[in-house]
Amino acid sequence: MPHQLTGIGARAPEVWLTGFGDSSLDFELVVWLAPEAVKRPGRVNADYTWALETALTKYGIEIPFPQRDLHFRSGEIPVRIDPPASPKESS
């Protein structure tokens, strides 16, 4: 990436596991930036975010959305199923 510090004192990017979410592993990408890049944090963030999205798509990695399951232990829930509307009723 063009924002990364190069030359003397340069360090390779690192990925840190920073925590465990409800349904996730939380990671942080650590990159040492060139002095010019530090002045444009929004641009740097956008560029790295797009690069990550592109790489995930390339390798078929999908980011799942949270799903919730409901389990009823007891009791009753009335359910009414209406028949589909006839073509006359829907016009």
- Going from N- to C-terminal start, the domains of the chain cover 14-58
Q: Which residue has the higher pLDDT, 22 or 30?
A: 30
Cα dist. 75→2, 71, 72 in Å?
A: 61, 11, 8
How confident is the model at residue 46, as a pLDDT? 96
Q: Tens of pLDDT along 31-88?
A: 999 999 999 999 999 999 999 999 999 999 988 777 778 777 777 878 889 888 777 7
Q: Does residue 20 have a pLDDT over 60?
A: yes
What would the mean pLDDT of 15-34 be, rounded to a whole number?
Answer: 92
User: Is there a contact between 41 and 47 (Cβ–Cβ < 8 Å)?
Assistant: no
